[in-house]
Structure 1
Amino acid sequence: MAGFLKRWIVGSLAVVWLALGGGQAAGAADFPTKPVEMTVLFGGTANTIAQVLSKLMTDKLGEPVVPVSRPGGGGAVGYAFVQGSRPDGYNIVWNSNSINTSYHTGKIPFDYSAFEPIAQVSKETPALAVPADKNWKTLGDMAKAVKAMKGTLKVGISGKGSFTHLTSAALFDAMGIGDKVRYISYGDGKAPIELLGGRIDAAIQWPGQFESYAAAGKLKVLAVTGKERVNLLPDVPTATEQGFDIDITMWRGLAAPKGTPANVIKTLQDAAKAATESPEFKSAAEKLGFTPAYLDAQAFGQEIAKDDTFYKKLLGSLSMTN
């Protein structure tokens, strides 16, 4: 009887231990044992980088990292899915500054603190392009022409409250033409086609979308919005060089639901680091026009928090907060 009672108590304690997360901890120790799903929020360059990153992380982890497209709401759809997932490392998000802008424009009810940062992977600097037949060589030329227009400047964006919308609004306000702009949303990755078709007059997107069209003389890229020029478009000056105080870039990285075990985060972080530092990733960066920019989980978390303060203030100044 005593032996039975002892076995019953031990068994009961084991059940309680599992219920309190002991089973998850044991599973975390040998993570991963199955595919990891990477939610991708956007198309275009974001999706292309995600495809490269997932392959290289697969090589490091020994289990597939599967990119799954969940677009919509400027990232809100994908963020909501991952935030509601089990915090075990098997659902992660290919995130960006959009976590800050989506929250402060009311698209999601949670902020960046709903996630565990894994690693920053890359940075991209937006570029402003216009059709080649526009008689504008600089931002100054553009500002002068738009101010003299009777109508409005039609500007393509990825969606209301999106990063391209925010960047466009900040730049055009700095140029003194914010009140002359009408924003038009287009599908992911279609900025050059919309420009060439005459549906819009200008668009801010990633350099990789414009480079081939600019080289062919079909589009003109007037400026980039970061503090430094980009390698893919070395002859294009920054907005700051042209007298407009703008410094906006996009970081991209990985995050997991809050509560994901630290050793799982470390495993994913190390895989992201190996991928970011690989020759294949650096080659992709040169072709697509982004910059490898690895930060570990702690430093990445600090970057996200700093940016959250920046974008809250910027969105407020542009009257775009919820």
Structure 2
Amino acid sequence: MNTRIFASVALVAAMAVGIGGQARAEFPEKPVEMTILFGSTAQTIGQLLADLMSKHMPEPVVPVSRPGGGGAVGYQYVHGMPADGYNIVWNSNSISTGYHNGGIPFDFNAFQPIAKISVEVPAFAVRADSGWNSLSDMAADIKASGQKLKIGASGKGSFTHLTTEAILAAMGLSDMAVHVPYDQGRAPVELIAGRLDAALQWPGQFISHHEAGTLKILCVTSAKRISQLPDIPTCAESGADGMDIVMWRGLAAPAGTPEDVIVKLEAAAKAAAESDAFKQAAQTIGFEIDFADHAAFGELIARDDKAIADLMGQLGMKAQ
């Protein structure tokens, strides 16, 4: 009798292990939801990434737009979801700018990195008829005139606002500029209409206008020139010494998501990033593909968080 009881218990235990192992092995068993934090190029790239990842998974990756609060709305949504891999976020440096400006109540440790996908380099643009051919030209003119520079970036405390303030500080214009926030995708319109003197945004928003001769891209904020704009100098070359600020984008899941689930999502993301369709989009939209696995991505996020905290502290943008 005791032998039969022992055998029954062992059978139940074996079945439970088998069922559990099978369930984990079959991830995903339902669609994976990808929260997209921003509009404009972030949304375009994120939607394409989700579609391409779906081709390498048994269930689709569904992009869902949750903008607001400099990423806070989307981050808080995903943070509140179970750590099972079915809710992921198309994240960026915004996790650090949002936390350090007080907009998000948790830092990057609330998420488990999946993969770094791309890098976008902000571009600084002015109207073509401004008479400015470099940041140095602009700074000299503003200082001589004594007028305030109307400069546009995304909302206060955002990544582009932080980058803008860094440029102004490097050019000695911090006290001679007015920050004008605008909605996603409106930088070219605001510049052409004359409501802004200068703006910082992603290259994809400016390139067609630059080529048409209505706007002029003065520089990009990375340490090296970018492939989409090989003839445009870096901001460091244009007068902002030492400037090297770029935005990475990648995927993350709530902290505690199982390692095997992370690895499966990472593999699908890698296949998507290496596809011809994604490479073509990089050239068309204006971003650099820069894949890194979840371990390397985690190390980058930690380093970048410290650098952003230090920079925001220096510029007086860090919440106390």
TM-score per shorter chain, which class? Answer: over 0.9
Cross-structure match for 1:305 = 302
8 Å Cα contact 1:41-1:69 kept in structure 2? yes
SS of 2:84's equivalent in the other structure is coil
Q: Relative to 1, partners in 2 of residues 1:135 and 1:62: Cα closer, same or farther, differing over 3 Å?
A: same
Q: What's the offset of the Cα at 1:5?
A: 7.7
Q: What's the offset of the Cα at 1:151?
A: 3.1
Structure 2: state its 5+ residue gaps. none
Cross-structure match for 2:253 = 256
Cross-structure match for 1:108 = 104
Q: What's the offset of the Cα at 1:27?
A: 3.0
Cross-structure match for 2:199 = 203
8 Å Cα contact 1:37-1:67 kept in structure 2? yes
Alignment partner of 1:279 is 2:276 = yes
Whole-angstrom distance in 2 between the partners of 1:24 and 1:141:
66
Whole-angstrom distance in 1 between the partners of 2:21 and 2:189:
50
SS of 2:114's equivalent in the other structure is strand
Cross-structure match for 1:266 = 263
Cross-structure match for 1:164 = 160
Q: What's the offset of the Cα at 1:150?
A: 3.4
Q: 2:59 aligns with which of 63, 74, 88?
A: 63
Task: Give the length in aligned residue pairs.
Answer: 318
Amino acid in the other structure paired with 1:104: H
Q: 2:117 aligns with which of 121, 135, 139?
A: 121
Cross-structure match for 1:89 = 85
Cross-structure match for 1:227 = 223
Cross-structure match for 2:134 = 138
Whole-angstrom distance in 1 between the partners of 2:306 and 2:26:
37
Cross-structure match for 1:293 = 290
**Cα deviation per residue 1:99-120 (whole Å; 9 max; x = unaligned)?**
1111111111111111100000
**Cα deviation per residue 1:143-182 (whole Å; 9 max; x = unaligned)?**
0111123331111111010001000000110011011111
Whole-angstrom distance in 1 between the partners of 2:131 and 2:193:
17
Aligned residues: CA RMSD: 2.2
Q: 1:315 aligns with which of 294, 299, 312?
A: 312
SS of 2:55's equivalent in the other structure is helix
Whole-angstrom distance in 2 between the partners of 1:71 and 1:63:
25
Amino acid in the other structure paired with 1:155: I
8 Å Cα contact 1:230-1:289 kept in structure 2? no
Q: Relative to 1, partners in 2 of residues 1:259 and 1:25: Cα closer, same or farther, differing over 3 Å?
A: farther
Between stretches 44-53 and 2-11, larger displacement belongs to 2-11
Q: What's the offset of the Cα at 1:9?
A: 7.2
**Cα deviation per residue 1:209-237 (whole Å; 9 max; x = unaligned)?**
10000000000100100011112222110
Cross-structure match for 2:69 = 73
Whole-angstrom distance in 1 between the partners of 2:21 and 2:145:
64
Whole-angstrom distance in 1 between the partners of 2:312 and 2:22:
44
SS of 1:242's equivalent in the other structure is coil
Whole-angstrom distance in 2 between the partners of 1:160 and 1:56:
33
Q: What's the offset of the Cα at 1:11?
A: 11
SS of 2:175's equivalent in the other structure is helix
Amino acid in the other structure paired with 2:78: V
Structure 1: state its 5+ residue gaps. none
8 Å Cα contact 1:116-1:255 kept in structure 2? yes
Whole-angstrom distance in 2 between the partners of 1:36 and 1:306:
29
Whole-angstrom distance in 2 between the partners of 1:234 and 1:269:
31
Whole-angstrom distance in 1 between the partners of 2:6 and 2:48:
54
Whole-angstrom distance in 1 between the partners of 2:80 and 2:52:
26
Q: What's the offset of the Cα at 1:28?
A: 2.6
Whole-angstrom distance in 2 between the partners of 1:25 and 1:305:
33
Amino acid in the other structure paired with 1:45: T
Cross-structure match for 1:28 = 24
Identity of aligned residues (%): 55
Q: What's the offset of the Cα at 1:207?
A: 0.6
Q: What's the offset of the Cα at 1:259?
A: 0.6
Amino acid in the other structure paired with 1:58: S
Whole-angstrom distance in 2 between the partners of 1:170 and 1:163:
11
SS of 1:155's equivalent in the other structure is strand
TM-score (norm 2): 0.94
8 Å Cα contact 1:120-1:295 kept in structure 2? yes
